[in-house]
Amino acid sequence: MSVLAVGLSHRSSPVALLERVALNGETRTRAVGEMVGSDAVNEVMVVSTCNRTEVYADVENPHGGVAAITELLSWHTGVTLGELNEHLYAHFEDHAVQHLFSVTCGLDSMVVGEGQILGQVRDALKEGQETGSVGRVLNDLGQRALRVGKRAHTETHLDHAGADMVSFGLTIATRELAVTPDPSLPAAEVTPPAGCPMSGRGALSDPAEPRSLGAALPSGPLTGSRVLVLGAGSMSALSANTVARQGAGTVIVANRTPERAARLAECLNEAYDTVRAGSVPFAEAAATLADVDLVISCTGAQGLVLTAEAVAAATRGRTRPLVFLDLALPRDIDPGVRELHGVHLVDIEDLRQAVASGTGHDPGRSNALPLVRGIVDEEVNEFRAIRRANEVAPTVVALRAQARDVVDSELSRLHGRLPDDLDDRTREEIGRAMRRVADKLLHRPTVRVKELAAAPDGESYEAALRQLFDLDLQIPKDPDGETCPGRRSPAARPAQEKA
């Protein structure tokens, strides 16, 4: 088996192509099912965000895996293979592991060090576990990646210096509102109550729980501004929380599920004394444009949420600027709104250009990066050692089984030649002594082969052991038909077979 990473990101691809390759909803479900159903791929985990679409896989061989995944990406997204291959990257084995660890730490993010990607990788792993596309190999890899991401944010100052996509986007967008967000504002000045979409802590255990978070906040850079948030997912919750921290006076939430919009607005009112929050039906979002200063959109919709025509109609006669911050991929806001008088649009492409120009560079974050890279390298080496040790385990088991068979055979022959009056206790002691000799002779070689397996080309030592002792590995299967150490047989795959 081989670990493989195939994908596109803001570093390799224009935003227009990322938009077309984004795997969301049913498209992702179908694509993952067919990938796992192919002969070349055993397991799949997809990380799809506004900055990247990446497929992590356990494959039979790297080249066959790349071909299968790329062809299915092309089929399900409608992007030609030629266009994909021009921007696609592929990483194998340790390089794939290192890439996922770096991504999870935020090292490969548009806003380096942002923490949202950690939750996005967690969601990708959870989805793969629930659908069955993730088995033992990717589960171990994903869990280790989450551990690495947590270490990076707790053992360095990456959290203190780093921003997130929302904060960085506001830094760019609010220039058009003649204000500049203060990046020194703490990221967690107010902790939302349990059950709030911003908290991730489940339902309220006691609706009558007294409020302890209502202290008035100091004025921020968006003081008195009116903000419309389109969507009520995790990114929208972060957006609402961020604009509240930066002084927004009114926050309106619109979502296709009215209950989620209302709950997010309720949480804002509970958490901030300085904010008036409410919700409107999604269909009425355009009608609120005349009364807001800033619109943040991150809905996950497959098409445009607001067209240029709808915005033009809603802002006719408006005299003050209206700024859109579109954090969605595919885009929510029609790029044509840029042509409207007094309307400004900041989207993922604008943020990428801002990063390329050095906007938002933070010396504190830069100082933390070498420490984070050191953590990544350390964890890659440790993961390799554990994985190689697991892979060599069947060879060690086979060698010890062979030794036991030899000892048992020799004991059987010996018992026939021993004196008849030799008592059972003595016979058992002879057997134990022979087994101890065999175990001691094998102990050092088996320990060393596990140690050497973690080194570059370490598999050659395992191969030499198999050749020297003529070992025939019979890899056992568990009751579900899954072969050890984690590769699923084609019969056990949940996805459909190719026609």
Q: pLDDT exceeding 70 applies to what percent of the chain? A: 81
- Whether 495 shows a pLDDT value over 80: the answer reads no
Say whether pLDDT at 350 is over 70.
yes
Q: What CA–CA distance (Å, rounded) separates 61 from 221?
A: 53
β-strand pairing of 89-92 with 2-9 = antiparallel
- At residue 92 the predicted structure's pLDDT band, cuts being 50, 70 and 90, is very high
**pLDDT value at residue 456:** 64
* Integer Cα distance of 73 and 92 in angstroms: 18
**Whole-structure pTM value:** 0.66
| Closest residue by Cα to residue 57 from 150, 127, 144, 128 | 128
pLDDT, greater one: 197 or 407: 407
Least confident of 25-34, 349-358, 482-491: 482-491
- Determine the distance from the C-alpha atom of residue 228 to the mean position of all C-alpha atoms in its chain, rounded to a whole number: 28
Structure tokens at 433: 């002594």
Task: Work out the average pLDDT over 30-36.
Answer: 92
How does pLDDT run across 399-415, given as a tens digit for each residue?
A: 888 888 888 888 888 88
Query: Which segment of 57-66, 159-168, 328-337, 398-407 scores lowest on mean pLDDT?
Result: 159-168
Report how far residue 398's alpha carbon sits from residue 388's, in angstroms, rounded to the nearest whole number: 16
Query: 253 pairs with which residues across the strands?
Result: 229, 279
pLDDT at 480 over 60: no
278 near 212, Cβ under 8 Å?
A: no
pLDDT at position 330: 82
Is residue 212 within 8 Å of 265, Cβ to Cβ?
A: no
Write down the pLDDT at residue 487. 41
pLDDT at 419: 83
Round to whole Å and give the CA distance between 185 and 436. Answer: 66
Cite the active site residues.
50
pLDDT of residue 349 exceeding 90, the answer is no
Rg (CA), the chain: 29
Q: Any idea which of 132-136, 384-388, 472-476 has the lowest mean pLDDT?
A: 472-476
- Distance in angstroms (rounded) separating the CA atoms of residues 319 and 198: 34
Q: 68 is written with which tokens?
A: 């299968």
Per-residue tokens: 495: 């996805």
Give the Cβ contact number of residue 392 at 10 Å. Answer: 24
Question: What are the tokens at 311?
Answer: 């915005």
Residues 241-276: pLDDT tens digits? 888 888 888 999 999 888 888 888 888 888 888 889
* pLDDT at res. 67: 93
CA angle 282, 284, 287 (to 5 degrees): 140
Mean pLDDT comparison of 151-160, 270-279, 478-487, highest-scoring range: 270-279
| pLDDT at residue 101, as a whole number | 95
Stretch among 25-39, 77-91, 326-340, 453-467 having the lowest mean pLDDT? 453-467
Residue 358's Cα: distance from chain center in Å?
A: 26
For residue 250, give the H/E element and its range.
strand 250-255
| pLDDT tens figures, 98-157 | 999 999 998 888 777 777 889 899 999 999 999 999 999 999 999 999 999 999 888 887
Give the CA distances from residue 165 to residues 235, 328, 416, in Å, rounded to whole numbers and listed in that order: 9, 11, 78
Phi (first) and psi of residue 307, to 5 degrees: -90, 165
Indicate the average pLDDT of the chain: 79
Smallest Cα–Cα separation from 371: which of 187, 161, 79, 155? 155
What is the pLDDT averaged over residues 41-52? Answer: 91
Predicted pLDDT at 366: 57
What is the rounded distance in angstroms from the CA atom of residue 254 to the CA atom of residue 296?
11
